[in-house]
Amino acid sequence: MLPQTVIDALSARLAALPDLRLPAQLRQGGASGERRRDYLTRLLQHDPGVFLERHGSELTADERRQFDCLRGDYEVQFYLRLLDEQEDAGKQAAVARNRRLAYMNRLEAEGAYFSEAEMRERQPGLYHHFIGQATAQPGEDKAAAAEAGPSFVRISEAEAQENAAAFLDTMRQRFLAGQDAGVDYAAIDADAELDEDWAAQQQQDAEDAYFADA
């Protein structure tokens, strides 16, 4: 059994969570903080495996380690292993995303991959949606605009810039999501050298934020 101090601490913290998963009889009519704590306390005392199944995702790594003394219980062991695997998967996903972001920053610095011409070639439909239907700018020949056809829309220069920025952001998000054909995402996700780029960017962002607040 878990030490009572651990049970009390976990029950008190989780009982305060607004979206705590509760049995139907407690959800009906609302449950007071005391009833929530009593429910969690009984569960921790008598069925820690069920507690982990229902509420394990709310625990911190340090809180999960408090259950190590119960690993002889098959159900407890099963859910602790499952929670550890989920945490590891989340960490791996975060590392992969950071590496893709670092690689994308390299591509943007080089200039070609995220140029308007190359993005248009990769995704002509998106280009048309954001930019292709509205290109008339101040000073443009009105006759040329008229020749563009009935689908042509005249917009301000500011709107054109907003559309271009939205197109670029969409293409960046597609890259990060692994949707660009021909990109070796497996190699990028496994490239530990990109971690240095990411760390440098984080440091630069922190310095920029510091001086901006100064």
C-alpha dist (Å) from residue 188 to 11, 29, 101, 106, 192:
43, 51, 10, 12, 9
Is the model's pLDDT at 196 over the cut of 50?
yes
- Note whether 79 and 49 are within 8 A (CB): yes
Average pLDDT over residues 183-208: 80
Between CA 154 and CA 161, with CA 159 as vertex, the angle to 5 degrees is: 120
Among residues 43, 110, 48, which one has the least CA distance to residue 79? Answer: 48
Collapsed DSSP state (helix, strand, coil) of residue 154:
strand
Average pLDDT over the chain, rounded to whole? 84
Return the pLDDT at 47: 93
Residue listed under structure tokens 């050298």? 193
- Residue 81 DSSP code: H
**Mean pLDDT calculated for residue range 116-127:** 93
pLDDT value, residue 35: 86
pLDDT the model gives residue 211? 62
Task: Give, in degrees to the nearest 5, the angle at Cα 107 between 103 and 110.
Answer: 140
Quote the pLDDT of residue 151: 54
Please give the residue that has the higher pLDDT: either 110 or 21.
110
pTM: 0.58
User: CA-CA distance, 63 to 48, in Å (whole number)?
Assistant: 13
Contact call for residues 160 and 135 (beta carbons, < 8 A): yes
pLDDT at 142 over 50: no
pLDDT of res. 74? 93
Average pLDDT over residues 29-50: 87
Distance CA 16, CA 33 (A): 7
CA distance 211 to 214: 5
Q: What percent of the chain has pLDDT over 70?
A: 81
* Average pLDDT estimate for 21-27: 79
Q: What is the C-alpha separation between 79 and 76, in angstroms, rounded?
A: 5
> Pick the residue with more confidence: 99 or 150?
99
